[in-house]
Amino acid sequence: MTNPNETDSVVRVRGLEKRYGDLSAVDGVSFDIHRGETFALLGPNGAGKSTTIEILEGYRTRTAGEVSVLGTDPARGGLDWKARLGIVLQSTGETGNATVLEQLRHFAAFYPRPRDVDEVIAAVGLEAKAKTRISKLSGGQRRRVDVALGIIGRPELLFLDEPTTGFDPESRRDFWTLIRQLKSEGTTILLTTHYLDEAAQLSDRAGVIAGGRLIEIGAIGEIGGADARIPVVRWRDASGALRSERSEHPAATVAAIVAQQGGEPRELEVIRPSLEDVYLELVRTHDSAAASETTIDADQTEVLS
């Protein structure tokens, strides 16, 4: 059956592969991003996130697979297509002699329907630095310039590759407000981040990529499956041993422990696994499966040789 949303896919990726020599950096990845949604691509260092994003942005060629971004193959995207994208690359690129205001005005002129430069400067919290040279800004402030440049063209699709690296906690919260505002205006967003709380706060859906493969995809609250979010009750029992039990009815479990121990259990806590807990478990399971596959391969090589 066809996915009813499939026709509304802003990004459509099927069987994407990227090899660097012998290394398979992206290995058969498929996913869609629907209009207006925020999709997080999560995964450990070297998983293949930036490679995937840069292929979608038209910055990297692919080895195999089909890709469509705003209805166009990025390998053949022209200037009109590029003007519909907003891109915040992983590395901080802006170091020039221009001031924040000059740089934004300069870039705004490339787009047919740019946002108001002063509004963008305010949105990224750089009013006090508008007339400062970018080379004199702190790392976190330069990152805000990157974000400002990414949104100045009023993009339909915004790529954010680790956008808040180097932000202080308050700036991250301000950034989240900005992203929510862009989302409410209908912007489709592809986000990569190592801050799982950020992904949980901002995204509608997420894909987890490890070793170049998509190991999980789904609604942000359902990643890892329903069981992954079952609360865990932890306590220290009468012998001093640390115990834990997953329970869909944690209050009843706690009551049973109290009854059994005849009093307040020591160090009692009820934890609802966060996206970070679920993500770490997924990646750990993937790593141990990949390690045992390697062992099996090595064993077979021995038998065959």
Ligand X SMILES: Nc1ncnc2c1ncn2[C@@H]1O[C@H](COP(=O)(O)OP(=O)(O)OP(=O)(O)O)[C@@H](O)[C@H]1O
Contact call for residue 48 and ligand X (CB under 6 A): yes
Contact call for residue 50 and ligand X (CB under 6 A): yes
Q: How many residues bind ligand X (CB under 6 A)?
A: 12
Report the distance separating Cα 81 and Cα 157, nearest Å.
11
Q: Quick one: 90 or 171, whose CB is closer to ligand X?
A: 90
Binding mask 74-93 for ligand X (x = CB under 6 A): ----------------x---
Report the distance separating Cα 29 and Cα 64, nearest Å.
10
Contact call for residue 43 and ligand X (CB under 6 A): yes
Name the segment binding ligand X (CB under 6 A); options: 45-53, 168-176, 223-231, 259-267: 45-53
Contact call for residue 45 and ligand X (CB under 6 A): yes
**Least gap, CB of 168 to ligand X (angstroms):** 21
Q: Quick one: 49 or 84, whose CB is closer to ligand X?
A: 49
Name the segment binding ligand X (CB under 6 A); options: 38-46, 75-83, 100-108, 122-130: 38-46
Give the binding site for ligand X (CB under 6 A): 20, 23, 25, 43, 45-51, 90
